[in-house]
Structure 1
């Protein structure tokens, strides 16, 4: 499984917004500058993230975006679902979809909801606070070997 670019960029954008937690609101342009993402992409993402209740938008001279709830209460699953919709590894996992030619004889289809729930649970176990803090990376090969 691989996240779409937009889901990846949403995680990057939310991580940048989380680093402003407790400070002034941040504009979409500031998020674009901090992340290196194109401003139109960030604008599209903050719109989706706001609609999903992850960001709060405030208009006006001192407006901008801020997290709608504490970073510890926002998970990787929340962010991915805001951009991609419900987590489902296969199209037949989506309720109401009946476009698979194997559907009537498929012995695996009943098992996908458990797989989807396990994946969602794993992603839900990763809070935004974990994603937004820097990880110390050794600067040299010698440090890695030490």
Structure 2
């Protein structure tokens, strides 16, 4: 399974927003600079995040984006799904009985990969944005390189 840049960048940007907002709007240009993500790409992602109800925009001088609710109430799965990033591990279309073989049959390992997608979704649903920003999701890799220095800015 591979998570595209759309999902990864959305989570990175939301984590940055959560860390830097302090109850005031954050400009996308600032997030783009800190996270080294194209501003135009972020604008597209934040349009989807806004439609998904995860962020709200503030217009005018000093405007930008804010989280629509506390980070503890936003799940990583919500972020990924709001930018239309499917959590899929099979070649088959999710939820359809047709498989990926030419005869529409399912491969021998279909159920294995489908259950993996379910477990990934369950895990991402169990992790809040606050868990990420408070570093309660450290794995065996240790601290995330680069985020520590940007979070302190």
TM-score by length of 2: 0.73
Displacement after TM superposition at 1:7 (Å) = 1.4
Structure possessing the higher radius of gyration over alpha carbons: 1
Change (3 A) 1:3 1:104: closer
Aligned residue number for residue 122 of structure 2: 121
Moved over 6 A (4+): none
Count of matched residue positions in the alignment of Structure 1 and Structure 2: 137
Change (3 A) 1:57 1:91: farther
Runs of 5+ unmatched residues, structure 1: 138-146
Q: 51-60 or 127-136, which moves further after superposition?
A: 127-136
For the Cα contact (< 8 Å) 1:87–1:120, is it kept in 2?
Answer: yes
Change (3 A) 1:105 1:50: closer
Runs of 5+ unmatched residues, structure 2: 144-153
- Deviations, residues 86-132 of structure 1 (Å, cap 9, x unaligned): 42222424235847225335455466554432220011111111222
For the Cα contact (< 8 Å) 1:76–1:128, is it kept in 2?
Answer: yes
Displacement after TM superposition at 1:82 (Å) = 1.9
Aligned residue number for residue 3 of structure 1: 3
Displacement after TM superposition at 1:10 (Å) = 1.0
Change (3 A) 1:105 1:89: closer
For the Cα contact (< 8 Å) 2:7–2:83, is it kept in 1?
Answer: yes
Displacement after TM superposition at 1:15 (Å) = 0.5
**Which structure has more helix as a fraction of its residues?**
1
| 1:1-146 pair list within 5 angstroms | 1-96=1-96, 98=98, 100=100, 101-104=102-105, 106=107, 108-109=109-110, 113-133=114-134, 137=143
The alignment yields a C-alpha RMSD, in angstroms, of 2.7
TM-score by length of 1: 0.76
